[in-house]
Structure 1
Amino acid sequence: MKPLGKTLLISLISLLFISCSNDQPVHQKKQEAPITFTQDEQEFEIIYMYDEMKEYISSVREKSGSSNETVYIDQVFEPFKELSDMEGFSLAYPFEHTNDLDKLEETIADLIRDKDSTDQIIKEALIKSAKQLPGDNKKIFILPANPEDTFTVEEMGGVEGIVLAENVIVLKLSASFDKDILKYTVAHEYNHAIEGESNEGMMHNILGAVVMEGKADVFASSLYPQIEVPWKEPMNAETKEKIVKELMEIGDTGDPRLYLGLRSGNPSKGIPQWANYKIGFEIVQSYIEKHPEVSIGKWTSMNEHEIIAGSDYTEITAHDE
């Protein structure tokens, strides 16, 4: 899971990433059949895009005169839009081309060798999540991570994810991804997707995004309490106070740069890296402790103001009353 991309307000991503379009036809080639299964009546598809990425590598190496980005759009992004039924989606994170083709090719080869194991991990995590929180059908797309993205490998267990729509989850994997982190990430992203089915206002401002991340981490932690992730390290009272103060100042805004400040940290203000995850988890966990009778489905669908009002952090929105 990559905080830089996924945790941004989806409606504001265009402010940080350049949108592109392409009118070239999608190459007609045989697509590897997706892995399909059901949990009760909920249907899942796991769709690997390794073949499309290999085609991208081959086409770039042919030196056709097109830029790497143009080839990537044609060979990878356009097929994704068709398979996901997201025809109106413009090129943005998590779709990005790379110039390190040799490393990308090595990554794909390693991932293909471990594909059966990856299938099982993702499938089991989805079934476990759906048993606790059933919802609509989901498509999960798997891509190799950009080899130039060292942050994902070094700090995020080689896994990053994003929910692009309530029924579309994208996972990007490095060759050396941590299997436990993948389980956790699948559950985390699944919670986001389920929230998207009912809480349309969840990503309209920074505070909504913070609470959204808190819900997903509480959900994933409830399924995998033994898995430790770096963004959930406990905070002392002073640090919590500083993050709460920052949220009181910026929470109602939709500026992605301010949100990235929470994600990246701000030492001058005493705000640690991943502050959005840390305080979001604390807010949602405190709500659940105060309201144990509320079901997972109910608190997942609640808006941020309802959650905060029933938590130990009511001061964050006290000025709104």
Structure 2
Amino acid sequence: MKKAIIFFLVTTLWIGGCESSGSKDGEHTQPSTKYAKTSEQSTNEASAHKEDGEKYVTTAENENGQTFRVISAYEWVDQYVKKVEDIESKSERFKLWKKVVMDHTQNQCFSGASSQLVEDYVYSPPANLGKIKSQNKVLNVSNIENLTIKALKASSNKFPGPNTIVCILPQEKANYVGLSIGAGRISIFYSSSYSEVLLKSTIAHEYHHSTWSAKYAENYKWDLLGNIIFEGKAEYFASLLYGQPPTAVYNYMNADEEKKLWNKAKSVLHSTDRKKIHTVLFGGDKGFPSNFGYIVGYHIVRDYVESHPNTTIEEWSKLSPKELYEASGYEDSF
């Protein structure tokens, strides 16, 4: 997506490596939930198979013909880890990373309008092999592919969008759950500490970003208000499906505190300065709590929909930030 300041969720933090001290999309501590793979398969369920010579692909489609491909990219990472343990040379490790992982996944998992967001993952092989082994051990006995398909189907039934690819990768240095790098492109960075509801709500959040990008990204104004509303729409969409947005855990402000901080943020709402946007959006600095912009964005969108109950998801999703904010009644809620 052109001029995107961020493109993820939950997914909430800056992908290039913690420029903000706040947490990023999906960096939440949740109860650990392990999953058991199911052997049940039918025409209505996802089925793993080889397609066009590819391994580790799970495909499905919804009733309207929208297709989903879940790529178990962690399987390629697992192969890399098994081969790299006796290699000390950084250059040789990178060559192996490219051959084993990137040559099989880059086009589908790391290419998109905002592919710069995943450059660090592409060009820096994982260093903590023990952590990768641990995450892959859980992934290999999980049903995360079917969980992902179910979340995608639920999301697409509410907000039809483009054919979508989701790549599942083990989390090492990434400190977020998921991100979207463009229309129809989502990556999930798995940790065994993530609960099932966090994973599903993150997928819904990123799916909204992905579908919104396919429909409304052109000429969008990426100032602070634009970023807040962009994330708020995805947070609210996830809450419609799973009861709370991914960043709900950070909503510890009372109304007076939120009002005070919002009045502080209002002075830079139309700023396109990256540092100022990060400060307010991700928080953790200058008095703003973690994920402040996500929480406020969620409240603004929620207040708009509650005061316009007949508005469809499609209608509020395409509203400009200015239109939605001014008609939300958000400040009256204080």
Alpha-carbon separation, structure 1, partners of 2:149 and 2:250: 25
Supply the AA of the counterpart residue of 2:69: E
- Alignment correspondent of 1:236: 254
SS at structure 1 position matched to 2:187:
strand
Q: Is residue 112–residue 182 contact of structure 2 (8 Å, CA) maintained in 1?
A: no
Provide the secondary structure at the position in 2 that maps to 1:92. Answer: helix
**Residue 92 of structure 1, aligned match among 111, 115, 119:** 119
Aligned equivalent of 1:81: 106
CA distance in 1, matches of 2:112, 2:316: 32
> What do you get for the CA RMSD once the two structures are aligned?
3.1
Which structure is richer in relative contact order (CA contacts within 8 A, separation 6 or more)?
Answer: 2
Structure 1 unaligned spans of 5+: 7-12, 18-29, 153-159, 316-321
Query: Counterpart in 1 of 2:148?
Result: 122
Distance 1:202 1:93 in 2: 26
TM-score w.r.t. the length of structure 1 is 0.78
Contact 1:5 1:162 in 2 (8 A): no
Matches within 5 A, 1:204-223: 204-223=222-241
Question: TM-score, normalized by length of structure 2?
Answer: 0.75
Question: Which protein is richer in helix relative to its size?
Answer: 1
Deviation of 1:14 (Å): 10
Distance in structure 2 (CA, Å) of the matches to 1:189 and 1:216: 7
Q: Deviations over 1:199-225 (max 9, x none)?
A: 214462222111111111111111111
Instruction: Decide whether aligned partners of structure 1 residues 176 and 87 sit closer, same or farther in structure 2, where only a CA change above 3 A counts.
Output: closer
Matches within 5 A, 1:104-253: 104-114=132-142, 117-146=143-172, 148=173, 160-200=177-217, 201-202=219-220, 204-225=222-243, 229-231=247-249, 233=251, 235-253=253-271
1:130-159 residue CA offsets vs partner (Å, 9 max, x unmatched): 11111111101110111x56x65xxxxxxx
Report SS of the residue matched to 2:197: helix
Contact 1:264 1:273 in 2 (8 A): yes
Q: Secondary structure at the match of 1:293?
A: coil
2-structure distance, mates of 1:14, 1:110: 25
Whether contact under 8 Å (2:279, 2:285) holds in the other structure is no
Shift of 1:285: 0.9
Query: Which digits, 9 at most, give the CA deviation of each residue in 1:173-222, with x for residues without a partner?
Result: 01332111111111111111111112214462222111111111111111
- 1:34 aligned residue: 57
The equivalent residue for 1:60 is 84
> What is the Cα deviation at residue 313 of structure 1?
4.2
CA distance in 2, matches of 1:255, 1:56: 39
Cα deviations by residue, 1:50-107 (Å, 9 ceiling, x for unpaired): 2321233244324273434554344333432223582884552555532111221121
1:205/1:252 contact within 8 Å kept: yes
Question: Which amino acid counterpart does residue 178 of structure 2 have in structure 1?
Answer: G
2:294 to 274, 277, 298: 277
For 2:147, the aligned partner's letter is I
Query: 1:232 and 1:195, CA in 2 relative to 1: closer, same or farther beyond 3 A?
Result: farther
CA distance in 2, matches of 1:188, 1:87: 18
CA–CA separation in structure 1 for the residues paired with 2:302 and 2:178: 22
Query: What does residue 71 of structure 2 align with?
Result: 47
Residue 104 of structure 2 aligns to which amino acid in structure 1?
Answer: P
After superposition, the C-alpha distances for 1:113-172 in whole angstroms (9 at most, x for unaligned) are: 11xx212211111111111111111101110111x56x65xxxxxxx0000011100001
Contiguous gaps of at least 5 residues in structure 2: 1-9, 21-52
Secondary structure, aligned partner of 1:35:
strand
Contact 1:265/1:274 (CA < 8 Å) preserved in 2?
yes
